[in-house]
Amino acid sequence: MFEDLERKRKKTCRFCEDKSKIIDYKDERLLRRFISDRGKIIPRRITGNCAGHQREMTIAIKRARHIALLPFTTEIFR
């Protein structure tokens, strides 16, 4: 049981590692990686982002949705 815990590495924030990457609401390809197939924002425990960059990512996704670069949902539910 303890061997499984030792093998898991802590995910690192890709924005902290590479300082040249910036989070911009106009970068649709980058933002699509952080939303699920249903259109939900993926939490930081799964993506590995730090808290500050996850907040920036959330704000960027919401701005992109507001100006219709990203959809709020991907399917029409009836």
In tens, the pLDDT along 39-76 reads 899 999 999 999 999 999 999 999 999 999 998 887 66
Return the half-sphere exposure (C-beta side, CA atoms, 13 A cut-off) of residue 71. 8
pLDDT at 9: 73
| Predicted TM-score (pTM) above 0.75 | yes
- Tell whether the model's pLDDT for residue 12 goes beyond 90: no
Contacting residues for 51 by C-beta, under 8 A, at least 6 apart: 44
Q: What is the pLDDT of residue 3?
A: 62
Domains of the chain: 2-66 (4.10.640.10)
Tens-digit pLDDT profile for residues 18-44: 888 899 999 999 999 999 988 899 999
